[in-house]
Each structure stands twice: as structure tokens, then as C-alpha cells.
Chain A
């Protein structure tokens, strides 16, 4: 296998947590590498637009450069064949990357819950549609329904409107009562309250709490959606629908990290159950930008044996953890969302496995064996999070390679 590299500290993921971790680690003057699937650092929240980095991370990118951090873009970790080594896939080639300390900042994906019509073209994620617009999708004049749950709905609604889309409605499944309690909680966090108020003013009257999409219809692509509160099909060009986030825990699982409640278990210094492996940000529990950043800093300091600096951040960590818990309670998914899928609704999009086929399965593993649910190219990243929500099935096992890999990139032994 060609092209090896080795680092004192290797960070996987260049979102807020990973960037904070890498920069914290530079204070110890060690050799640092940071890997990301995308070409430009920033992660999902600070995703590059039209190929240029998000303004909020330009400073950090410059700092990485100044401090000789090796940034490996367009690289996905596909395997961890032995302690101290991971394999990175870039294009169709694979290389070994060595490390003494490993910081996992693998982020999260959106949580998609199946409903009739969710597989139609032009039905997308909320962050999904935003990412496509950042990559050049033209939504000027398009009728868009934004739906699901969480603060991202308002932010994306405002973003799309700003890019010329007509926002038909922003359907938030959480109730007004729940949101009102949330607003009270924001009082000690004025910057969050301001952020929320500014965005809410932009989407305005189209924001409808207690509303969700029951089904989407269309012949070869989306044509209309049905919301619970309206008895008519509402015509639209795009439906952006997601119910929050699911942590990316496949690499931590492969490394043998303990998982608890669907998240990577860490101590107060971001140490996982595996020696020399740390985890920060969304994989330890969905917490958002601020918590991810603090956890990243703590992981970076701990990995470079600067535990005093790490411990100095524990109050910040607690503050944002408690904010995350409030968010969790506010946007807790209602039971109605669990019963949207009909027997014939597809749950596993890769293998076209329908809900009725899963009725006799009792775990992700049995579903895999009996129906091929979770065996397609996404390796259960979409349906696995859905079946966890629908049936309480915990994640099945993971095996390398973690993503589809061309044979030419694999080391084939006789």
C-alpha cells in the first residue's frame, strides 16, 4: 500500500470539534494531521460554498497552515487494521495513516424517518437541501416545504428564502407549548435567543409548530405534500425534511469504543474506552456547535497531556451540555411520527426493503439477514437510524471497509 504518513495526533473530521481539537493540540508543538471527507474544512455547519471555505472558518484554516497541520481533504477513513493505524480512501487510492493519539470528531448526519413518498426525487434532508444550494443548486422561485424538527428548520428556511426560494411552510413537529418552554430556557443564553429571534423573523408566519408531513406524492418526482393540519395536497418543488441528527459512530465502533445510548461513551476529558482514542462533538451526543467546539478543545488538550487546560473548560462543557438537553426535550419526537410509514413504505432505501418486511424481525441483525435491510451502499447509515427510532433496534455490527471502496484501493493478499 503506497503513501504512508504518521502523526502524534490524528484528528478525524474537520468540523467545529475537529478543528478545535487540532488547534488545541498545536499548542504542544506535536505533529498533527486532520482528515475530512470534504475538500475544504468546516464540516457541515460551516460547509464550504461554491468551493470557497465558510467565512467563519477561514481564520482557523489559516492557523492550521501556519502551524504546519497536515490537512488531508477528500479522505474517508475506511478501516483501522491495527492499533495506531487507520486507512484513508482518497478517490480510488488507499493509504495508511499512523497515529499515537487519535481524536474522533466524525460529526453527525440527519435523522430521516420514513413516510409515504419520502423516496421520491426532490424529497431531501433539511441540511441536505442547504448543502446542495451551497454546492450551486439554484432554488430561485422554487416552492419549498421545510419540515421535521429542530432549530435547523428555521435556519435553513431563512437561508433558502435568502437564496430566492418561496418557503411554503416550515412544519415543526414540536408543539407551541414545548417551544415556549424552550424560549424561557434561552434567557440565560442571550446570544442564542438573538440568533433564534433573527432567524424566526425571516421565516415569519410560515413557521408552524405542531405540524408534520404525512405523505409526499408525485409521479417521477415530488409534486405535493400532505400536512397533518390541512386536508389538501400542497404543491411544491422540494421538500426538505429531517428530524434532527444521528451521530456518526461507525468508525468509533470499528475501533472498539464503548457505545451508550447510540453515542460514543467518553469521560470528562473526552477519553473513550479505547486507550489513546478520544472523541469530541456530535458522536458523543448531539449537542450542536458550541458543545462540539468545547469538547474538541478538551480532546486536543487531553491528547497532548495538557489536562489542566482541558479541566479548565469543564464548566463551559456543562453549560452547553445542559443546553443540549433542553434542545432534546423541546424537539423530542412525538409518537405520531413513528406511525407515518405504511406497510408498503420503503424503510431501507438502498435495498428497497418495505416496512411490512421488517415486521417479523427483532433486531438490526435479523433484519439484515432476512431482508437485506442495511446491507446497501450506505451500510445502514440511513435506515439504521430510522429503525433505531421506529423499533428501538441498536446499531448492528460494523465491518471494514466502512464505505464502498474500489477493489483497486484494497490491499489484496493471496
Chain B
């Protein structure tokens, strides 16, 4: 699938295929930790289906978005919290 969308992950622009979730886009960019736990430990996606809330990131300024449940859209600004 040709890369059609451009998103920013922590300020860095990347191209990705349509239909890619935010979580997959971040992991593909070699970032494994998407957030820090209450004790400050790095965490990444676990369940892949919106149950565990471990993949939360900030999307277009809105915090605590489940990145596994949201598809990338052109121009999206994504910030991890790790």
C-alpha cells in the first residue's frame, strides 16, 4: 500500500499508509514507550483493542486518547508521553 498520509510524531513528520492506527504508526517509528505509568515506568500497547488504556497518547492536543483505536488522518499531530 503506498504511503498517503503525513502525520507528526513528537514533531517529526512521517508518511504512512491509510488505515494505519496511531499506535502502529508510533511503533513503526521505532518508539516503543507511549506513556509513563503512575510510578514513571515506560509503557506501550498491550491489548490492541481499546481495553487496557496503556497506549494513551495526545492527539491534536487532546490528551489520553487510545492510540490503538484511532486511525491516523492527514496532518495529525501526535505526542507520546514517555
Q: Given A37-B50, A109-B51, A404-B64: A136 and B17 within 8 A (CB)?
A: yes
> Given that A50-B1, A132-B21, A352-B39 are known contacts, is A121 also in contact with B49, CB under 8 Å in the complex?
no
Question: With A109-B49, A109-B51 in contact, is A50–B39 under 8 Å at CB?
Answer: no
Interface of A is mostly: loop
**What is the minimal beta-carbon distance from B28 to any residue of chain A, in angstroms?**
5
A132 touches B45 (CB 8 A): yes
CB pair A52 B48 closer than 8 Å: no
| Residue total for A at the interface (Cβ-Cβ under 8 A) | 42
Q: Is B8 an interface residue (CB 8 A)?
A: no
B19 touches A136 (CB 8 A): yes
User: Which of B23, B42, B54 has a CB less than 8 Å from the CB of A220?
Assistant: B42
Known A-B contacts A220-B33, A349-B52, A382-B52; A51 and B71 likewise in contact (beta carbons under 8 Å)? yes
- Are the C-beta atoms of A119 and B41 separated by less than 8 Å? yes
Which of A50, A109, A127, A382 is the one whose CB lies under 8 Å from B19? A50
CB of B54 within 8 A of CB of A349, answer yes
User: A121 and B32: CB pair below 8 A?
Assistant: yes
Interface flag for B78 (CB, 8 Å) = no
Please tell me if the beta carbons of A44 and B49 are within 8 angstroms of each other in the complex: yes
Cβ contact within 8 Å between A377 and B56:
yes
Cβ contacts A122-159/B at 8 Å (1 or 0 each): 11110111111101111000000000000000000000
**Which of B1, B47, B53 makes the CB contact (< 8 A) with A404?**
B53
Q: Which among B44, B68, B71 is the interface contact of A121 at CB below 8 angstroms? A: B44
Residues of chain B from 25 to 82 with CB closer than 8 A to chain A in the complex = 25, 27-28, 32-34, 37-39, 41-54, 56, 64, 68-69, 71
Contact present for A132 and B23 (CB under 8 Å)? yes
Chain B nearest CB, measured from A348 CB (Å): 10
- CB contact under 8 A between A352 and B38, given known A37-B69, A135-B24: yes
A interface residues (Cβ-Cβ under 8 A, vs B):
37-39, 44, 49-52, 109-110, 112, 119-125, 127-133, 135-138, 220-222, 349-352, 376-378, 381-382, 404
A sample of 20 inter-chain contacts (CB < 8 A) reads: A37-B69, A38-B50, A109-B47, A120-B42, A123-B46, A127-B47, A128-B45, A128-B49, A131-B68, A132-B45, A135-B24, A136-B17, A137-B27, A138-B24, A221-B44, A350-B53, A377-B64, A378-B52, A381-B52, A382-B46
Q: What is the interface of chain B, defined by CB distance below 8 A to chain A?
A: 1, 16-21, 23-25, 27-28, 32-34, 37-39, 41-54, 56, 64, 68-69, 71
Complex A-B, nearest 9 residue pairs according to Cβ-Cβ distance, in ascending order:
A51-B19, A136-B20, A131-B48, A121-B44, A50-B19, A135-B21, A128-B48, A121-B32, A377-B53
